[in-house]
Chain A
Amino acid sequence: MIELYVLLGLMIAGAVIAVEVKNLLSAVVAVGVVGLGLSVVFLLLKAPDVALTQLVVEIAAVILLIRATLHRDIASKFLGNRPFGAFVAFIFLVLTTYAGVLIFKSGMPPFGEPLMAVSRFYPLNALEGTGAMNVVTSVILDYRAYDTLGEATVLFTAVVGVLTVMRKMGRKKDLQENDE
């Protein structure tokens, strides 16, 4: 599993660069690297469906992000940290890591040994029960199709939301707010 650790290390390095680098475009590209590393990790962990989706969603997200950052003169202007937020974040970081390291030993099954208390059911019965060769598809579109309805709705909500905030004028004319 050494390749897993190498990729995880790469992703963490990419994340640190994305957070700390001064040029915004470089930051977006670094996040793209993290996402690509993620999809390779998904492949290693035997999740081809997820890897494919992650890959294409990653491309879409990076295109949108570059559209938002590119062509802006301040893309390279560095803005610092908020000291208070950094303080809170630091405390959160220490607490979570400490808690995580301590707690994983008590209650989490070790890596590579899932419980599969319920999901044992799916590989055994999916072919008969739903007729789909791809067990993951049978889970998303039959056993848990209601979740998928919710997920499609989330994307629909986001599209309507984007259209909403992109309107030029919120209130009808002659009733504009003072700050406009």
Chain B
Amino acid sequence: MINEGMIPLFVAVPLAGAFLAALFKRLGWIPDLLGVLASLFSFCLSLHFILDTAPGASFAVNVGGWGSFPEVMGKVVGIRLVLDGFTVFMLAIVNFVALWVSIYAVGYMKRYTGRWQFYTLFLLMLAGMNGVLITGDMFNMYVFIEIASIASYALVAFGVGKRELEASFKYAVMGGMASLLILLAVVFLYASTGTLNMGDMREILSGTHYSGLVYLVFGLLLTGFGLKAALVPFHAWLPDAHPSAPAPISAMLSGVLIKALGVYTIARIFFDVFGFPHQVSIILLVLAAISMGVGALVALRQWDMKRLLAYSSISQVGYIMLGFGIGTPLGVMGALFHLFNHSMFKSLLFLASGAVEYSTGTRNMKEMGGLNRKMPVTGGTALAGAMSLAGIPPFAGFWSKLVIIVAAVQAHHMKLAAWAALMSIITIVYVFRITRYAFLGELKEKLAGIKEVPLLMRVSLIILALACILGGLVLLPQVRKMFLSPAVRVLIGMGGV
């Protein structure tokens, strides 16, 4: 049975989990259980919306029953939640990663104090991301961005060491500034259109010639969301914040948070509300090209495993933005597919680096070596993720990069296509460094006594590795029709192309 009234549960259930975890903090295992159950529930709900509805169906629900009224010419007076193909696609990714990360964390977080705080913040972050995804209201989007952001600042500082606090402060300052810019843009939009609902805003704006004010809004939104997505001129916080967090949180931050808060919002607002104007396309292409280059080249020089992965995230988000910037159906499909793949392999790699740190106590790749012998599961799964990141043919990452490059060629962006291809070669080089120094080679004497990580952590690693290996199947017509194509159609159908 499908019921659009169930849409608010994506937010309500994780929130209830968070509040209950704070209430029952004394009972040791209750927060863990609540964390896993709430993310399991959201994942099942998103699966339910994918499998049991016609592909491309779109649902809307008015909170409090305040929909459109004739007194204001059919505009929406309350908050409307919208669930369409793109939303479902993102919800499935976010909640899938969250589920396996929460299971992984049951084992991993035994090393830290304050478990209830971890799960409360984790669920708040999940609720914030889900809220951003399902909302159809500009200001509501800002509120949920803030929930997810503040939870992530606190989670980055979870270890309360010098580095964690410093990284968290930088992240909080940058994120706070981004939020202010976004809020300012929302106010400008409200002042000039008189509504906050995205659908109504599109109707009001589509008839008119864009005034200078709208271009100012473009600038503010691109800066704000660019800061959240860590596109290159605005990326300074990411390489500090993502490695400092505990490994499950690094996986969430790099895997899904920057996408839900930065990439999704840019795609949703610029494609869906503004109809993807030409100027934005050019800016996105430029930012994407710089991000790809800087991220990959700096990653080459890193010895800290998590820091390398963080720079790699900047570069890969550049690929996603390249696909969006091209703006053709093929480009958008490549971008969404790469978004899916990046969520899988980057969270897998961060979890694997956490497993390595759990066993060996170090993140410096110079001190590792030959870990495959002692930790076959971690090594094997990390290898799968690394191959997917590098874009070696049978793995999923190859197909998405191929689609993006083909789309760039089709749209006559030859230089960008060549640049993307060159950067994927550099990606292969730094990925090779991870596998070469950490997992292959001679086992260091110091590490002779290490053990494989506990069962729950291994399960998460294996599932995510399977997603990396089998991710290419998303391109099969049957799966694509259900999962990927509706999302593409949402963006293109409304967009300028």
Contact = CB atoms under 8 A, between A and B. Distances in A.
Interface of A: 99-100, 102-104, 106-109, 114-122, 124-125, 142-147, 149-151, 153-154, 156-158, 160-161, 163-165, 167-172, 175, 177, 179-180
B72 A120 contact: yes
Nearest to A150: B143
B249 to A, nearest CB: 12
B76 interface: yes
Nearest to A177: B161
B441 interface: no
Nearest to B135: A146
A161 B151 contact: yes
Best-surrounded residue of B146, B160, B195, B219 (most CB of chain A within 10 A): B160
Contacts of A118: 72, 75-77, 194-197, 200
Nearest to B172: A161
A108 B147 contact: no
A172 B113 contact: yes
Interface stretch (B62-70, B264-272, B305-313, B379-387): B62-70
Nearest to B78: A143
A150 B144 contact: yes
Closest 10 CB pairs of A and B: A117-B194, A107-B213, A161-B154, A107-B211, A115-B194, A150-B143, A170-B160, A170-B159, A103-B212, A146-B63
A154 B153 CA distance: 12
A119 B196 CA distance: 10
A114 B195 CA distance: 12
B163 interface: yes
Q: What DSSP secondary structure best describes chain A's contact surface?
A: helix
Contacts of A142: 64, 66
A115 B197 CA distance: 15
A100 B71 CA distance: 33
Contacts of A180: 161-162
A179 B162 contact: yes
18 contacts: A104-B213, A107-B214, A118-B72, A118-B195, A118-B196, A121-B77, A143-B78, A146-B140, A150-B131, A150-B146, A150-B147, A154-B146, A161-B154, A164-B114, A164-B157, A165-B154, A170-B113, A170-B159
Interface in B114-129: 114, 117, 120-121, 124, 127-128
Contact of A153 (B124, B197, B361): B124
Contacts of B214: 107
Interface residues of B, number: 67
Given A143-B78, A157-B154, A172-B112, A121 B211 contact: no
B335 interface: no
B193 A170 contact: no
Given A157-B147, A172-B112, 13 more contacts: A107-B213, A108-B191, A116-B194, A117-B193, A117-B195, A117-B204, A142-B66, A143-B66, A160-B117, A163-B117, A164-B160, A171-B112, A180-B162
Nearest to B223: A92
A154 B147 contact: yes
B124 A160 contact: yes
B5 to A, nearest CB: 14
B124 A156 contact: yes
Contacts of A119: 194
A103 B159 CA distance: 46
Contacts of A168: 160
Interface in B180-197: 188, 191-197
B114 A167 contact: yes
B214 to A, nearest CB: 7
B111 A160 contact: no
Interface string B50-92: 0000000000000110100101100111110000000000000
Given A103-B213, A164-B158, A145 B63 contact: yes
